Amino acid sequence: MAKQDYYATLGVERGASAEEMKKAYRRLAMQYHPDRNPGDAKAEAKFKELNEAYDVLKDDQKRGAYDRYGHAAFENGGNGAGAGGFGFEGGLGDIFEQMFGGGRRGGGAQQQTGADIKTQVEIDMVEAFTGVKTNVRVPTRMTCDACSGSGSADKNASAETCGTCGGAGRVRAQQGFFVVERTCPSCGGSGRMVRNPCRVCSGVGTVPREKTLSVQIPAGVEDGTRIRLSGEGEAGGRGAAPGDLYVHISVRPHAIFQRDGANIFCRVPLRMTQAALGGEIEVPAIDGTAAKVKIPAGTQTGDQFRLRGKGFSVLRSAQRGDMYIQVAVETPQKLTRRQRELLEEFEHESKSYGAGSPEHEGFFAKVKDFFEGRG
């Protein structure tokens, strides 16, 4: 006997809201509850139908499946549309894809591409400026020489269709009314098996090795840059394509320079007399040359001087950024007797005739006004 439509069982329209279905279910469940109808087989059967219908329609995923496929969505364990039933493949994304118009994805065996490898190389800032060629040693998997990567002890033998997945490379497992598809554990997704596995690689086609590669790090790289070497990862099993090698660059801090993109900053401490009298200083550049910087008289801490084109190299370009000299005026310590005498004389002259310190004088003028205002 054909089952009644779930919506008709609850007495609601197909577009009914969750709240409407809930009210309808409660009303009918109370009416046909076995406790209210003792010994009534028809009421008991109706109560079971109500629970079955509401259990499906209150769940959005189950309701979507029912709206599209009807009762077939929950019959025979959901063996898939190809078997006349209904089923889902893969994860949650596939469920929605099939429910709401995505259709079923194409299957078939897939060769297992070799795994990607990640490694890190540390360089100093000068090497990052000029670029450098360096060697890296990485543990990897390489094609087995004994079987030439075929995985078979008999080099002339060809792989056979996997008996577990029938060559599809994937198997299905029942989980409730879902059918979950996963990679075949026997052939690893290749869909092929070797009858007489190679003793060296156990039929995998690859063996663990360590190899050394030469990596060209371009000028201008920043800390955290990732370089991809295509095809230099682990070898793929049984002739599949190899993975890639990713080299992560770490740049050590420099004792003199700080980098900000293509610009370089250099903090230069000046003696108090240098800053007051002015003069010329010589500073190094990242390219190994020296640059002369003119310091005007009265230079203050925080003043900054720009040297165009003396900054960092720009990645994949012949251009360079700028270099900024940041001044820090240093107060002398551990004075000799003569130095103290000279500074005391200088301080006396400053009080008598002014020392050209407008910020100092302006601040203490405001302090004086502040206290006089409070008095």
- Overall number of domains in the chain: 4
Task: Look at residue 61 in the predicted model and tell me its pLDDT.
Answer: 79
State which of 185, 220, 253 marks the end of a domain. Answer: 253
The segments of the chain whose pLDDT lies below 70 read 1-2, 73-112, 155-158, 174-179, 188, 239, 353-355, 375
Q: What is the pLDDT of residues 262-287, one digit of tens each?
A: 999 999 999 999 999 999 999 999 99
Same structural domain, 122 and 210? yes
195 found inside a domain: no
Q: Which has the closest alpha carbon to 117: 148, 93, 140? A: 140
CATH number, domain containing residue 11 = 1.10.287.110
The length of the chain, given as a count of residues: 375
Same structural domain, 21 and 140? no
Burial class (CB in 10 A: 0-12, 13-18, 19+), 217: buried
Residue 266 marked as a ligand binder: no
Same structural domain, 289 and 308? yes
Task: Look at residue 78 in the predicted model and tell me its pLDDT.
Answer: 43
> Across all residues in the chain, what is the average pLDDT?
82
Task: Look at residue 289 in the predicted model and tell me its pLDDT.
Answer: 95
- Rounded Cα distance, 322 and 263, in Å: 5
Q: Which has the closest alpha carbon to 324: 278, 262, 276, 237? A: 262
170 found inside a domain: no
DSSP string over 31-91: HH-TTTSTT-HHHHHHHHHHHHHHHHHTSHHHHHHHHHHGGGGGSTT---GGGTS----SS
Residues 247 and 121 sit within 8 Å (Cβ to Cβ): yes
Work out whether strand 245-251 and strand 117-123 pair parallel, antiparallel, or are unpaired: parallel
127 found inside a domain: yes
Same structural domain, 265 and 233? no
Task: Look at residue 355 in the predicted model and tell me its pLDDT.
Answer: 62
Phi then psi for 108, rounded to 5 degrees? 110, 155
Q: Hey, is 173 helix, strand or coil?
A: strand
Same structural domain, 261 and 249? no
Residues 175 and 88 sit within 8 Å (Cβ to Cβ): no
Domain region containing 349: 338-374
Q: Hey, is 2 helix, strand or coil?
A: coil
Task: Look at residue 106 in the predicted model and tell me its pLDDT.
Answer: 41
State which of 253, 268, 291 marks the end of a domain. Answer: 253
Contacts of 215 (CB under 8 A, 6+ apart): 121, 133, 134, 135, 136, 227, 229, 247
Residues 197 and 136 sit within 8 Å (Cβ to Cβ): no
DSSP string over 215-260: EEEPTT--TT-EEEETT-SPPPGGGPPP--EEEEEEEPPPSSEEEE
Looking at residue 197, the DSSP 8-state letter turns out to be: B
CATH number, domain containing residue 272 = 2.60.260.20
Same structural domain, 272 and 235? no
Maximum distance among all alpha carbons in the chain? Answer: 118
Residues 221 and 193 sit within 8 Å (Cβ to Cβ): no
185 found inside a domain: no
Residues 304 and 324 sit within 8 Å (Cβ to Cβ): yes
166 found inside a domain: no
State which of 220, 253, 286 marks the end of a domain. Answer: 253
Asked whether the whole model's pTM tops 0.85, one would answer no
233 found inside a domain: yes
Measure the N-to-C terminal CA separation of the chain; round to a whole number of Å.
104
184 found inside a domain: no
Same structural domain, 66 and 116? no
Same structural domain, 143 and 123? yes
187 found inside a domain: no
Same structural domain, 20 and 82? yes
Phi then psi for 51, rounded to 5 degrees? -65, -40
Q: What is the pLDDT of residues 212-244, one digit of tens each?
A: 999 999 999 999 999 999 999 998 877 678 999
Task: Look at residue 75 in the predicted model and tell me its pLDDT.
Answer: 61
Same structural domain, 40 and 142? no
Same structural domain, 291 and 304? yes
- Rounded Cα distance, 232 and 42, in Å: 71
- Rounded Cα distance, 10 and 32, in Å: 12
Task: Look at residue 150 in the predicted model and tell me its pLDDT.
Answer: 80
Task: Look at residue 301 in the predicted model and tell me its pLDDT.
Answer: 94
Same structural domain, 59 and 39? yes
